[in-house]
Amino acid sequence: MDTDSINNKNRTVHHLVDELKDENDITNQDVIVVDGRGYEDDSPINEEVYNLVDVIDEHQLNNKQYEDIMQRVEKIVENITRKMVPEIAERVIKEEIEKSKRADKWLNLVAFLGIIGYLYATFHFWNIGVTSIALILMFVRLPDLLWEIKTGKKVTRSVAQEMPKNVLYFITTFLTFAALPALYYFLYHF
């Protein structure tokens, strides 16, 4: 509780309309007090006073009319949505496909140039043997990449057990392990 507040026993409650004495006039007049300011009440006493809720209720639409209006609005919005959304969605999807195609072309070009640069660097700084081992290691990854594209799953240890064990699998596994000693030979003894 605020230290400046008054106890409930000593507190008086003021209403929005209070009678205040006008200091200039000896007679009492009705004054409306709003936010601490007094305003004279010029309304005649005999005028009927309406409660705001009563006035609104008298002119409000009945529930049946309100429901009919809402159903019509829903139908209109639904029709507009059914006509416009598919056209907009189709246009947006086509634009995104075109962007994706352009991005794929650039990505493939950059990757191809990167591979060429990598192979050139292995040949320039080492020898043809290291370059051939780099090509072999790229080649043995190809069946895994094709399987990932076909199934949509990334190759992990648990998923690798599901992969078919055909002749290509055994050849690529052999080439992977054979490339390591060959790389050692071409780096240090060739």
pLDDT digits (tens, 9 = 90+) for 1-32: 455 555 556 556 555 555 454 455 544 556 66
Chain centroid to Cα 26, Å, comes to 70
The Cα diameter of the chain in Å comes to 123
Domain ranges of the chain: 17-49, 52-105, 126-190
On the question of pLDDT at 159 being above 70, the answer is yes
| C-beta neighbour count of 122 within 10 angstroms | 19
- For position 1, what pLDDT does the model report? 47
**Contact criterion met (CB below 8 Å) for 163 and 148:** no
Rg (CA), the chain: 43
What is the average per-residue pLDDT within 36-60? 57
What is the average per-residue pLDDT within 56-71? 70
Instruction: Point out the least confidently predicted range of 17-21, 128-132, 159-163, 183-187.
Output: 17-21
Share of the chain above pLDDT 70, in %: 67
Global model pTM greater than 0.75: no
User: What is the Cα–Cα distance from 16 to 28, expressed in whole angstroms?
Assistant: 17
**Mean confidence (pLDDT) of the chain:** 77
Sheet containing 28-34, strands listed edge to edge, beginning at the edge strand earlier in sequence: 17-21, 28-34, 37-40
| Residues 84-138: tens digit of each pLDDT | 878 888 888 889 988 888 898 999 999 999 999 999 999 999 999 999 999 999 9
Helical (H) or strand (E) element with 172: helix 167-188
Beta strands in the chain (DSSP E): 17-21, 28-34, 37-40
**Contact criterion met (CB below 8 Å) for 143 and 107:** no
